[in-house]
Amino acid sequence: MKTYLNIDGENFPIGSRTLTCIVRELLDSAVLDSSEQESADYTQTINKLALHPSANVRGLLIRNGSLSKKTIEALFSQMDPCIIDDLMYYSDETCYMKDDLYDSLLSSKNMSVLKLFANRVIVRKGNSEDRNKIHKLIHHPDPEIRYALADNRALPDWIFKILAQDTDSDVRFRALSSLKKSNI
């Protein structure tokens, strides 16, 4: 995909490295006291750039944390392990996932994405939606997914207690190990 910089109606082709520099500058120079229109234009630009095919550009924007819920949802739907890793690492964006997107992620055949997701998912305390969604991971048919979940030390103890009863011995061991470490 070619990217063009439009200056006074004339398009100039730019490469990925140049676009990455422009995005860095755009993020560094974001003006907080701008007008509502400038703010809306900025948000729209950021959200369009977040869907750019360049992983560097998407990563910069994700790490900056200024994406709309709609853009985050679109990024998750791409099922790209690098994008999901950035989304999960830099903030708890799973709360923006609609049920159908969450279900499509769980039914994905992309094991690296699923393992990464299970290892990074966060359950917000007292949130029943999170509890319902995590049950799908707890009971996932693939033991590697359950193992990745048992290895996620950010989860509450009740999840480890369930996984400590798993039919797979590796999952049980990892859950018991995580449970012991969370009680230290």
- Domain residues of the chain, as ranges? 1-67, 94-184
Q: Both tokens of residue 127?
A: 């949130």
Q: Would the pTM count as exceeding 0.85?
A: no
Angle at the Cα of 102 (from 150 to 132), degrees rounded to 5?
A: 60
Residue 95 is given by DSSP the state G
In this structure, which amino acid lies at residue 134?
Answer: I
Residue 152 CB contacts under 8 Å (≥ 6 apart), including other chains: 118, 119, 120, 121, 178
In this structure, which amino acid lies at residue 179?
Answer: L
Own/partner long-range contacts of 69-72 (Cβ < 8 Å, ≥24 apart): 69/96, 71/46, 71/47, 72/96
Give the pLDDT score at 143.
95
User: How far is Cα 55 from Cα 118, in angstroms, rounded to an integer?
Assistant: 22
Q: What are phi and psi for residue 3, nearest 5 degrees?
A: -115, 140
pLDDT digits (tens, 9 = 90+) for 25-72: 877 766 554 566 667 777 777 777 877 777 778 777 777 766 777 777
Q: How far is CA 109 from CA 105, 112, 142, in A?
A: 9, 9, 11
Task: Render each residue's pLDDT in the chain as its tens digit; 184 residues.
Answer: 678 888 888 888 888 788 888 887 877 766 554 566 667 777 777 777 877 777 778 777 777 766 777 777 777 777 777 777 777 766 555 555 556 666 777 777 778 878 887 887 777 677 777 777 788 889 999 999 999 999 998 888 999 999 999 999 999 999 999 998 877 5
Give the pLDDT score at 93.
54
